[in-house]
Structure 1
């Protein structure tokens, strides 16, 4: 018995190895010729059976040979043997039908011609039609059998039983495509209707079920749900409970990307697991590509913090607009190396420079400006971890304020056309050093932008948390889930604004192109998200049940952490722009001579590493900054 099982396993392994390679066209051609010979013999046999009654099983005279030659000729004309048999579909059946119809038509015409000249026929006209029916059926059956055998050979016991979300024509087409895909790893078992009442109960012979039926009637046949990217976008925020319900039912959710984003050969290879970014359900951004190209095309563009999550995405977003050169500036050697390898692999024709530098070093930056003469600057280099900056306030001020000041001053000196500063929502009514340091940088940029004789256009962009960025809560939760918990949330009511990395960077490019100088652009972040809801969604997306498989615990607010983030300061109002997701924050900051002196003193105290004096001046520059008591801060200072 063991020997038989071993031989069986060896046989299937050999078949799998053979099936990995495509069968040569010549072999398919020979098989098709053999099928046509068999069909011709079968036709002559049937004709003989209704003739004089004498059955003739083998027919090898000129009539038979003529029929086969005509069929082979049309095989070559239509190249019906050229397709890959394992991927047989509707188009292949049409090609076989065209070949057969052409052969039958030719047979009838030649038949009539021979009859008029010689008074005889190869076969009766009805026989030509019988032959066409037989040969088409056998040719198509051969391809279907090979396709099915390939599927069985490669069949995996881990086939995923899945529903399709929706019953529209697009959803039905999606199901048909997956079912007909020879390399699919999904077994479609039905459709999930978004309606509570059904007009029909089956599509493609598969059942249609509602969410209520899945939840209450225990009729589950699938473990997963497939949804198109278009439908993900169509689901309005108030309807997001559909996806949440599916997750609560422990159904894994997969999505099919838009056609232009496909990379593989089959539809099933494009189906990916839904991630947290997909659940944001935000409307896609429409960029003014022509305007952006006119701003960035042919320019030398400096991106600071280019190895970080935001900076690297800004670089990727800039590439389609054809910059003359991109300067990747960062102090982190290894991440910058990885970024350069990515660009060399994906964009071999891109002209870029890897620049190791620290934005705190004015002389080093000056040498870079002198050598490369950048036209546009995207300044993303910053310290951003709130608790760490609370313990190291001078470092936060040195990088976030002085680093920005260095770049600002050099942009003016070298007459850079545009300077885009990437700020944060934590700069609004800041309760921590990180937010206050970014606000002080905003103030300095605005103080310089007030001088209308300066050619540089200074633009500040302000947005909230970016999903998946370095140091964000998402990678933190992911690691905790991989370790089976517990997932730690600071407070049950804490909320944050979120957007995806690509969305944030696209808006940065758009704002950078529209600014006239001195504006603070605020991005539409949608609705704030409760961190506890985010944690529960991530647990469910990972296939676990919150509080059962993985626990969630509360650890209390960290130093400098707010319950709620704000995008606009109390004394600010907004003006619309041509882009619905970008608003201008009109600040009421009063730049008198005293404030300008404070900025100068602020720089000196930071350079002198005087923590208390620096914070004292910072509070005067940013009066809305409310921090811990000085005693608490002195304990935290390193």
Structure 2
């Protein structure tokens, strides 16, 4: 028994090794010629069976040689043997059919010519047509058998049994491509209809089931679902709950990228797991490339916080607009080094500078402005972690307010054309030091923008949480899931606005191009997302079941943390712009001499490192800043 198993394994190993190499084309031609000879013999045999004479099984006369010669000639003309048999598809079938039809037509024409001269034929015209059917059938069958054998040899017993989401022509074409892919690791077992009432029951002989039927595990044959990127966008932007329902059924979801994003490999190799960004994506942003290029092309652009998640993506987004130079400024040495390596590798022709500097150091910043003469500034450097800043308020104010003030003053001094400040939704009615420090920076920018003699356009952009940014909830949850939990959520009702890094940075560039100075641009963040739902989705996307495989626990609100974030992105508090996703916050701050004095006092107290007095001044400067009391924190705690 062991000997038989060993022989089988050895034979399979030899077959796999042979399958890795392509069979020489001359061998395929030889096989096709043999098929032609066999088909000719069968044709002459069938013709002989019609007459009254004795059946003749073997024919080696001149008629037989003529038929095979004509067929070989067209094999060579059309090169029908040149395709790789294991990848036979529709085009190969058409080429075989073309070769056979041409042979049959040529044979009939020659028949008529020979008959008119010598009153004889190579074979009757009906026999030529019979030959065509026989030879095409065997040629096609040979290729199908080889292809199927190759698939079986390379078949993985652990191949993923998957459904295809949707029943449109595109979905059917995707399923056909996956099924015919000899290197596929997916076994398509059916289609999932997005509607409950089914008009058809089968496509490609595979069953069509709806979501209600999927809930009955007895009829389920798949463990995964494949969805096209186009359908994924349609479902996400239509606020459909289909994807969540599939996740709740513990089905893994895979996506097939758009055709232009393929790397040129087989279709199966392009199929990737769906991530959280895919589930939360919204309508794609439409930028004005010509307008943006006219503003950013050929400019020296300074990006602070360039090694951070937002700053680094702003740098990447700017590249396509061909700036003269990008000045990447950050105080974090290692992340900036990694960013520099990426730029050198992917964009060797782009001129950029890697600058280590702290935005609190005015003299250092002044030397940078003096030497490089930046024309546009994107200011993304900031301290952003709410609990950390609650424990270190003077640091939050020093970086977020003083750092912004330093850059603002230098932008005026060196006549920078545009200054784009990246703020946060936490600056709206802040309950924590981080939000209040960013709001104070917004106020300072607005105060200088009031001066009509200043040529620099100061623009503030305000948006919510960015998926996957450094230190955000997504990497935190991911690490907890990798350690098999528990996943910690501060409160069951806590919600946040989310957008992708790519989306946020594109809107920053767009807002930076449209501003006249002094505006606060608010981004349409869509609908707020409950953090508990986010945690459940991440657990399911990782292949686990919430509360069964990985537990979720509540830890209570952290110092300065709100249950709900505010963006003021509504019609009562904002004005529309030409871009549907960018709104302007209505002016809500009146400047007078007292407020300008408060700005100076705040800077003085920060310089004196006096946290208590700095916060006192901050409360007067930002009257809507109402820190949560300990009683309120206890009330919101679990």
Whether TM-score is above 0.5 comes out as: yes
Alignment map for 1:245-394 (pairs within 5 Å): 245-394=245-394
**Mapped contact 2:523–2:569 kept (Cα < 8 A):** no
SS at structure 1 position matched to 2:220: coil
* Structure 1: gaps (5+ residues): 633-638
- Aligned-residue offset at 1:59: 4.4
Q: 1:362 to 1:196 in 2, by over 3 A?
A: same
Deviating more after overlay: 601-610 vs 465-474: 601-610
Of 221-230 and 257-266, deviating more is 257-266
Q: What is the Cα deviation at residue 54 of structure 1?
A: 4.9
CA 1:133–1:224: 2 relative to 1, 3 Å: same
User: Quick one: distance in 1 between partners of 2:25 and 2:306?
Assistant: 50
Count how many residue pairs are aligned between Structure 1 and Structure 2: 631
**How many Å separate the matches in 2 of 1:571 and 1:264?**
47
- When residues 138 and 585 of structure 1 are mapped into structure 2, their CA distance, relative to the original with a 3 A threshold, is same
> For 1:73 and 1:402, how far apart are their aligned partners in 2?
84
Matched, 1:502 2:502: yes
Mean alpha-carbon deviation: is it higher for 46-55 or for 335-344?
A: 46-55
> What is the Cα-based RMSD across aligned positions, in Å?
2.6
Structure 1 residue aligned with 2:602:
602
Offset, 1:105: 1.7
Q: TM-score scaled by structure 1?
A: 0.92
Shift of 1:628: 5.8
Cα 1:107–1:160 change in 2 (3 A) is: same
Separation in structure 2 between the aligned mates of residue 396 and residue 438 of structure 1, nearest angstrom: 9
Contact 1:571 1:588 (C-alpha < 8 Å) held by counterparts:
no
SS of residue matched to 2:557: coil
Matches within 5 A, 1:523-602: 523-568=523-568, 573-602=573-602
Q: What is the deviation of 1:407?
A: 2.0
Distance 2:2 2:372 in 1: 73
Deviates more, 1:51-60 or 1:169-178: 51-60
CA distance in 2, matches of 1:203, 1:552: 41
Deviation by residue 1:405-440 (Cα, 9 ceiling, x = unmatched) = 222222222222222111110111111111111111
Aligned counterparts, 1:165-204, within 5 A: 165-204=165-204
Conservation of the 8 A alpha-carbon contact between 1:605 and 1:614: yes
Q: Which residue of 2 aligns with 1:135?
A: 135
Structure 2 CA distance for partners of 1:302 and 1:77, relative to 1, 3 Å: farther
SS at structure 2 position matched to 1:355: strand
In structure 2, C-alpha distance between the alignment counterparts of 1:235 and 1:429, rounded to whole Å: 34
Alignment CA distance shift 1:11-1:316 (3 Å): farther
> What is residue 4 of structure 1 aligned with on the other side?
4
CA contact (8 A) 2:281 2:500 kept: no
- Could you tell me which residue of structure 2 aligns to residue 429 of structure 1? 429
Single out whichever of 528-537 and 240-249 deviates more from structure 2: 240-249
Deviations 1:494-536 (A, max 9, x none): 1111111111111111111111111111011111111111111
| Residue equivalent to 1:622 | 622
In the alignment, the residues of structure 1 paired with residue 223 and residue 215 of structure 2 have an alpha-carbon distance, to the nearest angstrom, of 13
Alignment of 1:12-51 (within 5 A): 12-50=12-50
Structure-2 separation of matches of 1:570 and 1:427: 16
Distance in 2 of aligned mates of 1:453 and 1:297: 26
Give the Cα separation in 2 of the matches to 1:362 and 1:295: 27
Structure-2 residue corresponding to 1:214: 214
Alignment check: 8 A CA contact 2:569 2:583 kept: no
Q: Is the 8 A contact 2:236 2:279 kept in 1?
A: no
Shift of 1:150: 1.4
Q: Is the 8 A contact 1:428 1:569 kept in 2?
A: no
Deviation, structure 1 residue 318: 2.2
Counterpart of 1:444 in structure 2 is 444
Q: Conserved in 1, the CA contact under 8 Å of 2:39 and 2:131?
A: yes
Structure 2 residue runs without a partner (length 5+): 633-638
User: Which residue number corresponds to residue 53 of structure 2?
Assistant: 53
**Which string of whole-angstrom CA distances, capped at 9 and with x for unpartnered residues, describes residues 341-385 of structure 1?**
333443444333333322222333333333333332222111111
What residue number does 2:636 align with?
Answer: none
Shift of 1:152: 0.8
2: CA distance between counterparts of 1:413 and 1:118?
104
Q: Contact 1:304–1:328 at 8 Å: present in 2 too? A: yes
Q: Match of 1:226?
A: 226
1:459: which partner in 2? 459
Secondary structure in 1 matching 2:195: coil
Using the TM superposition, name which of 122-131 and 530-539 deviates more. Answer: 122-131
Q: Secondary structure at the match of 1:116?
A: helix
Residues 62 and 402 (structure 1 numbering): CA distance in 2 closer, same or farther, change over 3 Å? Answer: farther
- 3-state SS of the aligned residue for 2:558? coil
How far apart, in 2, do the equivalents of 1:350 and 1:240 lie? 42
Does residue 156 in structure 1 map to residue 156 in structure 2? yes
2:97 aligns with: 97
Mark the CA change 1:66 to 1:549 in structure 2 (over 3 Å): closer, same or farther.
same
